[in-house]
């Protein structure tokens, strides 16, 4: 039986010759500039045009981008940042790593993005920022969260690591807050051959400070003059060159993901009363980095799909406040029931753009057969 892996090993196979030529060309360039060179600058300019943002700063990873933004906002000891209770560890770790305290807010039981009213409940006098994250197929309710941040006078950091290419109400993911971040790790919507990320902002002063912090506090004009304690979160020239090549095809790949997701959702529409819930339909505020079902009998469904050659993946089975690393930040007498329920039910299906129609149909048939 042909197996359809959840993480495909051939994402970049068609670019093999291009990649080898890119490595040779940059490796033998007389300038011998392998980080933060002209290709990185060109990539940042292309992303500025693509997103409409005033500034884009490429950095070492999406995780690094979050920490750079928080540092640039002067968030640290004594400050609190409200984050979703369900999500990737960097949501909380980036806050802890700048000396601040993460405060966890529960998520919506269907969309699995943070609930605005839970965020508002978590805000205190010590809150410096709120940091919603887009999840799987759905962007967070950024209009409500933007209004909430303005009302309470706190910063809004938009974790768009999984959502590049998503658009909500005509505004791209990453553009809703004081700053947003992207991740270019392999399986993301604009994934690449290694690590990488970017900060997106319309705040020129914030962008300038992030640019300085990513390179050990240097401003780029005078080497070995350090204006701040910074980090090594610099961007690779090979990856910059490759991502410039791939940017022109991003819209087509996103469209393919959306068409696959629409087909899945249509096929699964009648399964809700049988214990399988598809994501909400529609395209506004959708990103389709991952297509995640909520299944009451998740492990049974996963075994069934494996038997039929369909790879799946379980994301975030344990909410962040229940993780050993973050348990000390979980406030007493606070609960995150929707995050816990989602962690017990989530099952992600393959949705990468080069799945054929026949493969997509087989995946949907297999779920319906269960």
Catalytic residue numbers, as ranges: 188
Q: What are phi and psi of 81, to 5 degrees?
A: -130, 125
Please calculate the CA angle 136-138-143 and round it to the nearest 5 degrees.
140
Q: Which residue is listed with tokens 């929707």?
A: 338
Q: Do β-strands 197-201 and 179-183 pair in parallel, antiparallel, or remain unpaired?
A: antiparallel
CA 53 to mean position of chain CA atoms: 18
Contact residues for 29 (Cβ-Cβ < 8 A; gap 6+): none
- CB-count burial class (<10 Å; 0-12, 13-18, 19+) for 359: middle
CA distances from 165 to 66, 172, 303, 307 (A): 19, 7, 32, 34
CA distances from 3 to 9, 60, 117, 366 (A): 12, 33, 43, 13
CA distances from 253 to 189, 256, 289, 331, 332 (A): 8, 5, 11, 42, 44
- The answer to whether the Cα torsion of 106, 289, 348, 283 is positive or negative is positive
Contact residues for 354 (Cβ-Cβ < 8 A; gap 6+): 8, 10, 11, 256
């Amino acid at each position: 039986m042909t197996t359809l892996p959840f993480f495909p090993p051939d994402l970049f196979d068609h670019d093999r010759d291009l990649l080898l030529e890119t490595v040779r060309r940059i490796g033998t360039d007389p300038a011998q500039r392998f980080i933060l060179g002209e290709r990185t600058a060109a990539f940042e300019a292309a992303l500025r045009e693509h997103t409409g943002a005033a500034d884009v700063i490429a950095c070492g990873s999406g995780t690094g981008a979050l920490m750079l933004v928080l540092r640039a906002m002067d968030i640290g000891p004594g400050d609190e940042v409200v984050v979703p209770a369900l999500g990737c560890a960097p949501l909380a770790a980036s806050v802890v790593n700048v000396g601040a305290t993460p405060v966890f807010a529960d998520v919506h039981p269907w969309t699995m993005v943070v609930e605005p009213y839970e965020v508002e409940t978590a805000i205190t006098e010590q809150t410096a920022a709120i940091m919603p994250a887009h999840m799987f197929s759905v962007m967070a309710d950024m209009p409500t969260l933007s209004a909430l941040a303005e009302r309470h006078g706190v910063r809004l950091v938009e974790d768009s690591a999984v959502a590049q290419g998503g658009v909500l109400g005509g505004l791209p993911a990453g553009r809703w807050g004081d700053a947003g971040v992207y991740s270019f790790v392999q399986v993301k919507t604009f994934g690449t051959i290694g690590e990488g990320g970017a900060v997106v902002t319309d705040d020129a002063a914030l962008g300038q400070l992030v640019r300085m912090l990513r390179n050990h506090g240097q401003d780029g004009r005078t080497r070995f003059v350090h204006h701040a304690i910074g980090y090594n979160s610099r961007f690779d020239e090979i990856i910059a060159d490759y991502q410039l090549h791939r940017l022109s095809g991003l819209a087509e790949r996103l469209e393919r993901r959306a068409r696959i997701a629409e087909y899945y959702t249509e096929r699964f529409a009648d399964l809700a009363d049988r214990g399988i819930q598809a994501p909400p339909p529609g395209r506004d505020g959708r990103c389709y980095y991952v297509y995640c079902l909520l299944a009451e009998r998740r492990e049974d469904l996963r075994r069934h799909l494996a038997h039929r050659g369909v790879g799946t993946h379980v994301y975030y089975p344990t909410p962040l406040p229940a993780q050993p690393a973050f348990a000390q930040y979980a406030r007493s007498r606070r609960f995150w029931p929707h995050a816990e329920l989602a962690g017990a039910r989530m099952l992600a299906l393959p949705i990468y753009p080069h799945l054929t129609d026949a493969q997509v149909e087989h995946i949907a048939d297999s779920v319906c057969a269960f």
